[in-house]
A and B are shown apart, each in its own frame.
Chain A
Amino acid sequence: MEPKVRIEDLQAGEEAFSLSKVVKREEVKAYADASGDQNPLHQDDNFARSVGFPGIIAHGMFSMALVAKAVTDWVGDPGALKRIRVQFRAPVFMAEALVARGRVDQVDPSSRRVTLSVWAEVDRAGERQLPVKNSRAEVELS
């Protein structure tokens, strides 16, 4: 399939995408069932409090899924995604608005590869936190 973006139109430094969702408890439960990761940290508030959080947190992979979706929505063809590497650096709590964002870092016309900086952010009491940071995605455009 044809990618939505053309390498000729991309410039290093430009913002590529922004995709947001409000994280809901029932979605995190659905994610536990769909992924098979039943760690109580993502389901049981009492357990989460016992290990130092104010309540349950979303799976890191739940945030990564939003980041990956933002990349494939942007590029159009999911097959264009060649590599994604993320670091999980902060928790995501229930009812927070999680925003996946990306910026074009490198454009290589000879290999048709585009490297993006990707991250996920939340606004927590007026302060920007980065649950996903220092992360990269590589896409290959036909």
Chain B
Amino acid sequence: MAMNYALKGKTYQEVTFTVDRDRVLQFCDAIGEDNPIFRDPAAAKEAGYDEQLAPPTFPTVMQIMTSGQVVMDQELGLNYMMVVHAEQEYEYHRPLKVGDELTAVPRIADAYARGPNEFLVIEAEMRDRSGETVVVARSTLLSRGTAGG
């Protein structure tokens, strides 16, 4: 079963997410991040930031909620067992930091077939409380061999 390409442009329910200090530390431990700017608010302040920063790929934690809604959408008809993560992009407007309260409206930026495979691009523009964009995340998922079926 091919997915429903007509859903390109569809938006989903807004997601809210707070960058939690313990979660950032847990994430740092998991990726082997030892830079104190990501672990210690005092070190971040010394480097000129007002708070401990989150590592550049930390927004992936919020994407479980943004992308999650899209991949579970029955109307889209994605077979999640056939899906692999093909591409990931982050566009940073400022570094993410502990205490940031983010919101994002997940959106299907693109959906298409190429050869036997299908591609789904999910975009989440993560904004802070003042409405300023912090990071734009774009994930490309590849559904293996499901085109034209």
Interfacial residues, chain A to chain B (CB-CB below 8 A): 1, 21, 27, 30-31, 33-37, 51, 59-62, 64-66, 68-69, 71-73, 77-79, 81-88
Contacts and interface: CB of A to CB of B under 8 A. Distances in A.
Contacts of A62: 31
A37 B31 CA distance: 14
A87 B95 contact: no
A23 to B, nearest CB: 10
Q: Is the interface of A mostly helix, strand, loop or mixed?
A: helix
Interface in B45-64: 47-49, 53, 55-57, 60-61, 64
B32 A21 contact: yes
Contacts of B86: 87-88
Contacts of A66: 31-32
Contacts of A77: 47
27 contacts: A1-B47, A1-B48, A21-B32, A27-B30, A31-B31, A33-B26, A33-B30, A35-B64, A36-B61, A37-B60, A37-B64, A51-B81, A59-B85, A61-B60, A61-B88, A69-B31, A71-B56, A72-B35, A77-B47, A78-B56, A81-B56, A83-B90, A84-B89, A85-B89, A88-B84, A88-B86, A88-B88
B128 to A, nearest CB: 15
A69 B53 CA distance: 13
Interface in B80-113: 81, 84-92, 94-95
Nearest to B24: A34
A84 B33 CA distance: 18
B70 interface: no
B1 to A, nearest CB: 18
Nearest to A1: B47
B29 interface: yes
A65 B55 contact: yes
Nearest to A83: B91
